[in-house]
Structure 1
Amino acid sequence: MSGTSADAIDAVMTRFKGDGAIETIASHSKAMPEGLKAPIFALQSGASRDIYDVCRLDAELAQHYAASVDSLIAKTSVARTDIAAIGNHGQTLLHRPDDNPAFTLQIGDNHRLAELTGITVVGDFRRRDIAAGGQAAPLIPAFHKTLVAPKESAAFLNIGGIANISCIKQGEASGFDTGPGNTLMDAWIRRHKGLDFDRSGAWARAGSLDEKLLKAMLADPYFHRAAPKSTGQDHFNLAWLSALLTDSPAPEDVQRTLLELTAVTASTALRQSGSQSVFTFGGGRHNDFLMARIQDLLGGLSVSPTSKLGVDPDFMEATAFAWLAKQCLDGKPGNDPAVTGARGERVLGVVFPA
C-alpha cells in the first residue's frame, strides 16, 4: 500500500485463518523515494498531465514495491513459494468517480511486480466498482465488518492524505471520505518549511485559528453532499486553498486552520454516525494536536487505535488489501454497494499470475 500522501510504501504479511482470525506475521515500511514524490504530487493535483511521467512512475513504483516485498520476506522464515499472492493497491494518481465517464487510476505495474517477485499479484482493485456505478472508495469498510462482532457497532477513522470513516452497525457497513486528512497540511508545510509533514502538529499549534478561512473552506459543496461520496488530491489541493486565501494570513495560522478543517469534518461525520466507540488508524493518528482536537470535538466518545482489534493501525490499509486480494482469489465480492453506491456486489481485483 502506498497511500494518497505518497509518504511510504507499507507492506504486511498476513495469514487468514479458517476461524476468521488474522495473524500478522511481519510488516515493513519503506519511505517513498524523494525523486518520485514531486511527479506524483504534480499528477495528483493536476499541475501535470505528462503521460511520460505516468508511464515512468508506473514502472519505477513496481520496482520499489518489489524491493519492499523482498525486505518483508527477509524478516520471516516464510518461503516465497508459500505466499498465495501479493495484494497491490498501487499509487493513486487520479480519482474522479463523479466525472462522466467516471474513472480512477492507480499505478505500479502489476505485471512487472509479478515478474520481479515470482509471486502472483492481485491488483487493480478499484476500477470494477467504478464500472458498476460506484465510487470505488472507501473499500475497506467491507473488511472492517469482519473485525466487529455481528451485534456490535463501531466506527473507524482513517486519517491518510484523505480522511474516511467506516460505520459498522448490526453487521451492516456505511462509510465515505470526510475530506482532507493530511494532504493539505502536508502540502502547506512542504511549501513553507520544506518539510514532508508537521510532526505532532507542532507548527499548527504555534498558529491561531482563522475562523473566516475555516468558514470558507467548510462551504465547499463536497462537505454538504450525501454519501456515497469520495474525493482526492485532484480536488483538495493547494490551488483549491489558494483560491480561498483572500487575505494574507500568517502561514502558521493557515496550518492551524487546515488542521481544524480535518478535525471538524471527521468529528462531525463520526458524531452523525451514532457510534459510541471509534477506532483510528493511518498516518494522521501520529499528529498529537490533530487527535486531541478530534477527541475534544467528539466529547465523551471512546477513541482507540485499531490495535485493540488486533490490527496494527499503521498497517490497517495494507492488511485490508491483503484481505481484498484473498476475496478475489476466492471469487468473493470485495465491495459493499451500500458504501460505494455500486449497482451490486462485485469481485474486485485482477489476478496477474507469477
Structure 2
Amino acid sequence: MAKERYIGIMSGTSLDGVDVVLCEIDATECTLLSALEYPIPLELKSDILTMIEGKNTLEALGTLDHRLGLLFTQAVGALLIRENIDASSIKAIGSHGQTLWHAPTGEYPFSMQLGDPNILTARTGIPVVADFRRKDVALGGQGAPFAPAFHEFIFSNIKSSVSVVNIGGMANITVLGDNLIGYDTGCGNVLLDMWIAEHQGKSYDENGEWARTGAVDYTLLDKMMSDHFFQEPYPKSTGREKFNKVWLQEYLSGHTHNPEDVQRTLLELTAMSISNEILKFNPDITLLCGGGAKNTFLVERIKALMPNVEVAISANADQIESMTFAWLAYKRVHHEKVNLKDVTGASDNAVLGGIYA
C-alpha cells in the first residue's frame, strides 16, 4: 500500500503550545516530514486553566470549545503555508484535542477533550479524526495513555529490552515486550512549570537551571511520594485534575519553604516517580521523549537514579506525541483496531476516534 500523508495535532497538559506534524504513513512506517509548534495565546491558556480549576459556565465551555477549534485550524494552516502543502494531499488530520478533565474511574467515567473538529474540517477542507479516548473508556479502559501503542509500532525493531518514557505535563511509561505495558507514572513538567510561573513569571524552567540552585527537601519529597497514586498498580492514568496547585499546597501547608528548594524537590519528585517505575522492569535501554527530555538537569537525575540502565533521547523526541495522533488517524481511516487493552484495561482493542468529513 502506498504511503499516505496525515497531520497530527497535540496540545498537552503542559499548555506550552500546539504541536503539529506532517507524516507519511503506511502499514510499517511513520515518517516525520515536518513539524511546527504553534503558540497558545496567554489569554486562552489562562481561560483553559480557569476552567480546569472549576470556574466555568456552559456558555464558557462552548466558547472555549470553539476557540480551541479555531486555534487548531490556525496551527494546521501555518504548517500548510510554511511548507507550501496542498490541503488536498492530506488524507486526514488526527486531533487529540485539549484535555479539560480526565476521570476514567468512578460510577460515570469520562475523558473530556475540547477543540471542535467540525471547525477544523470546515475551514481546512481536510477530514478530521478526533474523540479518540471515549471508546476506550466505554470499554472499561482508562482512555490513556495512547502513546504506548505508537511506541510499539516505531520502536519494536530494537532488539534490546526497551522502555520509553514520555515526559509532558504528565509522564507515562511504555515497556515493550511480549505483552505491551504502559501507564502514567505521575507528574512530569506540570508542577515544575506551575511553580516557576508563580515565582518567576516564566513558563518553564529551562534546562532545570532554577531547580539546580535549590536543595531537595527530603521530608517534603517523602510525603509527596507517599501519595496513593504512586502506590496504585497499573493500568492507571492521571492529569491536572490530580496534580495541580491544590495538590501541592496540601503538602506545603504549615511549612515555610524557599521557592528554589520546592522547585528542586519537584524535579526530584518527577525523576524519582519515573525511575521507580522503570526499575520495576529493569530494561537495558530507556528512551526519553516529550518536552521533559530537553530538561538537562531532569535527565541527569533520572540517569543518576538508575545507573545500570542506559538512558537516551529518542529521535523526534518533541514530536512523538503529535505523531501518535497522525498514526491513530491512519488507523481509524483504515478501520484498524489499536492494541491498547493491555495498557488501558479496556475489555477489548477497538477502532478509535470519529471521522468528521
Number of the residue aligned with 1:145: 152
In the TM superposition, what is the alpha-carbon distance from 1:190 to its structure 2 partner? 1.1
Aligned length: 346
Number of the residue aligned with 2:14: 5
Alignment partner of 2:101: what SS? strand
Q: Given residue 232 of structure 1, which amino acid in structure 2 is its aligned partner?
A: G
Identity, in percent, stands at 39
> Could you tell me how far apart the structure 1 residues matched to 2:23 and 2:267 are?
33
CA contact (8 A) 2:30 2:327 kept: no
TM score, norm. by length of structure 2 = 0.94
Give 1:289's match in structure 2, choosing from 297, 311, 318. 297
> Could you tell me how far apart the structure 1 residues matched to 2:51 and 2:263 are?
23
> Could you tell me how far apart the structure 2 residues matched to 1:77 and 1:202 are?
38
> Could you tell me how far apart the structure 2 residues matched to 1:191 and 1:89 are?
28
TM score, norm. by length of structure 1 = 0.95
Alignment partner of 2:152: what SS? helix
Give 1:210's match in structure 2, choosing from 201, 205, 217. 217
> Could you tell me how far apart the structure 1 residues matched to 2:322 and 2:189 are?
18
Query: What do the CA deviations read for 1:201-231 (whole angstroms, capped 9, x no partner)?
Result: 1111111110111011011101000000001
The answer to whether residue 280 in structure 2 is matched with residue 276 in structure 1 is no
In the TM superposition, what is the alpha-carbon distance from 1:346 to its structure 2 partner? 0.8
Q: Which runs of 5+ in 1 are unaligned?
A: none
> Could you tell me how far apart the structure 1 residues matched to 2:175 and 2:86 are?
37
The answer to whether residue 57 in structure 2 is matched with residue 30 in structure 1 is no
In the TM superposition, what is the alpha-carbon distance from 1:22 to its structure 2 partner? 2.2
Query: What do the CA deviations read for 1:218-259 (whole angstroms, capped 9, x no partner)?
Result: 111010000000011111111111111131111111111111
> Could you tell me how far apart the structure 1 residues matched to 2:189 and 2:39 are?
16
The answer to whether residue 326 in structure 2 is matched with residue 322 in structure 1 is yes
Mean alpha-carbon deviation: is it higher for 71-80 or for 266-275?
A: 71-80
In the TM superposition, what is the alpha-carbon distance from 1:151 to its structure 2 partner? 5.9
CA contact (8 A) 2:282 2:309 kept: no
> Could you tell me how far apart the structure 2 residues matched to 1:165 and 1:352 are?
31
CA contact (8 A) 1:12 1:28 kept: yes
Q: Given residue 325 of structure 1, which amino acid in structure 2 is its aligned partner?
A: A
CA contact (8 A) 1:129 1:136 kept: yes
Alignment partner of 1:23: what SS? strand
In the TM superposition, what is the alpha-carbon distance from 1:89 to its structure 2 partner? 0.3
Alignment partner of 1:146: what SS? helix
The answer to whether residue 232 in structure 2 is matched with residue 229 in structure 1 is no
> Could you tell me how far apart the structure 1 residues matched to 2:352 and 2:29 are?
22
Alignment partner of 2:251: what SS? coil
Number of the residue aligned with 2:7: none
Alignment partner of 1:244: what SS? helix
The answer to whether residue 243 in structure 2 is matched with residue 239 in structure 1 is no
Alignment partner of 2:108: what SS? coil
> Could you tell me how far apart the structure 1 residues matched to 2:78 and 2:96 are?
18
Number of the residue aligned with 1:180: 187
Number of the residue aligned with 1:159: 167
> Could you tell me how far apart the structure 2 residues matched to 1:210 and 1:151 are?
40
